[in-house]
Each structure stands twice: as C-alpha cells, then as structure tokens.
Amino acid sequence: MNPKPLRKLLPDAAGLAEAAAILRQGGLVSFPTETVYGLGADARNDSAVAAIYAAKGRPSFNPLIVHVPDDETAERYCLFNDEARRLAGAFWPGALTLVLPLKPGAAVSKLVTAGLDTLAVRVPDHGVARALLEAFDGPVAAPSANHSGRISPTTAAHVVAGLGDAIDAVVDGGDCPVGLESTIVSCVDAPALLRAGGIPAETIERCLSAPLATLTDPTLPTAPGQLASHYAPQGKVRLNAPYAKEGEVLLGFGPVDAALNLSPSGDLTEAAARLFACLHELDRMQANAIAVSPIPDHGLGAAINDRLRRAAAPRP
C-alpha cells in the first residue's frame, strides 16, 4: 500500500521537523501521547485523512479526534459552553476529549467529523505530542494507531508491528504513561460520558459538581465504541475468572499466580498503563484462550473493564 519505507524517527528536533514535514505533505505519522500512540494526519487535508481510514481499515462513519496544542486553538474549531471551558481548564492538557459543536466555517476536513456537525478535540499531555503539534503548527487528526478493532498501541514497536507497512513514519517516544485512550465527554447538550478512559468519570463529575449523562442509545451511529468487539487480542477472552482453566492463560490482577499480571499489587493506574501491552504480549505468546482476573469497577477500573468487555465480545 505504501511505496516508501517506514521512517522510524527520534523525538529530537530533527526527528520532529521531519515528522512535521511529512504531515505537511499529507503523510501519516504515528506519535506518542500520554494515552496511546496516535496515527496522525493534517486534519485540514481530505486525502491525508482518507489515508488514515484506509490504513486502519476503519468504518468511515467513525469520526476522528483532532489534537491541538492548547485551549485557544481548540476554540478556533469548536463552540465552547461554560461546562466545556471548565473541563478544558481542569483537565487540559490531558486524557480528556471534548465533543463540541463544530464552529461554522472551521477549517477541518469533513472526513474528520464523518460529516457530523460536532467535533472531538483534545490537548494531549505528552512532551513529544506537544512538540510535534508545535512544529507542525496545525490541527492533527489522530485515532489510535492500530487496525480497526485491534488492540491499541502503547509502544512504537506495537505501531510498527500493526501498521508498519501502511504509514510513513513513527516517532518513538517510549511507553505511553496512561495506557488507556482518553475519556470522551460530549458537551453538545448536558455533559455526557461517551467513552470511559484515562480520566475517571468520578473525577470529571467532581469537577462539574454534577453527574455525567451516559448515551446508551444503540441507534446513535456516532456514539463511540459502537462496535461491541474492539481492542481484541487473537485469543478468546473470559472475564472475572478467579483462576485459569485447563488450556487458558491467566491475565492476573492482584496477588494471583498468573502468566502475566496487570498489577500484582492491585493498583488500577498500573493496570491501565499495562493493559494493552499485556494484550499484545498475549498475542505474541499465541494464547488461544485467555482468562482475566476480576478487576474492581471504580475509577480507572471502569475504563479497563470497558476495554476488556469489548476484547471478550463475540467477533464480527
């Protein structure tokens, strides 16, 4: 698909300048964020954005998140209300994506929003992502840098293994510290949780002093995570398993005897950071049957369990 060899770039001035130049030419660059590696393209360039969909094999009705360096830039593309400003003030830069009304005339490819009149936007909290946004000086559309439905990447090696022949470059910034995608909150109407993620919903509710609505209407084609099977390793996944049955590999949590453990001490932050790397590792081990220890459903545990339920869902 891609005639050029993959460029593996260092996150230094030369590497970032080259990454920005590739973006300017309409190319695809994977880069680290605090959550997961993104697959970036110039959000104003239709053919560059189309190339993201092609590389990921993503259903084109699933819109993309636009990454910007700061709140002021975000306000060029979206209409903020008081709640959106409050959330941006509290959590940006960071693992929060806001879905907001698209500003009329905003210079964003219609492919980014999949034709919707809302836009998902976030300010990442990662030195390399921020330096790249500064060097590029424009909005970067970036989904997670994995094939649609597969496990999100938290290292440059994951990106290369999954998409290496479909993209132009990857900037290697080491492991992603949060390890789970951003929490998505819509502020189009009353603030609503669209996807659990790196910032616990409880933390966002405390900031708003109000509960978040949840959009569960399955007829909404634009609700994220509409594809029940997602984040899937090759093997079959069984959840809430106190121990592995014959032939299963146990992905543990807490003090259990497991082949791989998300956090032996039962720490949810550590488990979030390690989740996708462990799922990738299970693929590498060619585990056909995977049992997963129970994980508490509060704080980051809610996002971890969301991803694990999708990993366990029947495959299309």
Return the number of the residue (180 or 268) whose C-beta is nearest ligand TXA. Answer: 180
Sole binder of ligand TXA in the list 20, 29, 64, 258 (CB under 6 A): 64
Stretch that binds Mg ion, among 49-57, 142-150, 250-258, 274-282 (CB under 5 A): 142-150
Nearer to ligand TXA, 155 or 182 (CB): 182
261 binds, among ligand TXA, Mg ion, none (CB under 5 to 8 A by kind): none
- Contact residue for ligand TXA among 109, 144, 154, 261 (CB under 6 A): 144
The verdict on 183 binding Mg ion (CB under 5 A) reads no
Contacted entry of Mg ion, ligand TXA, none for residue 142, CB cut-off 5 to 8 Å set by kind: ligand TXA
Part in contact with ligand TXA (CB under 6 A); list of ranges 74-82, 131-139, 176-184, 277-285: 176-184
Q: Among the candidate windows 161-169, 219-227, 273-281, 303-311, which touches ligand TXA by CB under 6 A?
A: 219-227
Told to check if 36 binds ligand TXA by CB under 6 A, we report: yes
Q: How many residues does the chain have?
A: 316
Q: Applying CB under 6 A, does 273 fall inside the site for ligand TXA?
A: no
Name the minimum Å distance from CB 63 to ligand TXA. Answer: 3
Residue 35 interacts with ligand TXA (CB under 6 A)?
Answer: yes
Per-residue burial over 174-205, b if 16 or more Cβ lie within 10 Å, else e, is eebbbbbbbbbbbbbeebbbbbbbbbbbeebe
Query: Considering only residues 81-140, where is the footprint of ligand TXA by CB under 6 A?
Result: 97, 99, 113, 116, 118-120
How far apart are CB 84 and ligand TXA at their closest, in Å?
A: 13
Part in contact with ligand TXA (CB under 6 A); list of ranges 30-38, 73-81, 166-174, 251-259: 30-38
**Counting contacts by CB under 5 A, is residue 113 touching Mg ion?**
no
Q: 72, exposed or middle or buried, with CB in 10 Å at 0-12, 13-18, 19+?
A: exposed
Contact stretch for Mg ion (CB under 5 A) within 25-33, 127-135, 141-149, 301-309: 141-149
Tell me, letter by letter, the H, E, C secondary structure of the chain.
CCCCCCEEECCCHHHHHHHHHHHHCCCCEEECCCCCCEEEEECCCHHHHHHHHHHHCCCCCCCCEEECCCHHHHHHHECCCHHHHHHHHHHCCCCEEEEEEECCCCCCCCCCCCCCCEEEEECCCCHHHHHHHHHHCCCEECCECCCCCECCCCCHHHHHHHHCCCCCEEECCCCCCCCCCCEEEECCCCCEEEECCCCCHHHHHHHHCCCCEECCCCCCCCCCCCCCCCCECCCEEECCCCCCCCCCEEEECCCCCCCEECCCCCCHHHHHHHHHHHHHHHHHCCCCEEEECCCCCCCHHHHHHHHHHHHHCCCC
Among 30, 118, 144, 182, binds Mg ion (CB under 5 A): 144
Residues at the site binding ligand TXA, with contacts judged by CB under 6 A: 33, 35-36, 38, 62-65, 97, 99, 113, 116, 118-120, 142-144, 181-182, 184, 194, 222, 224-225
Residues at the site binding Mg ion, with contacts judged by CB under 5 A: 144
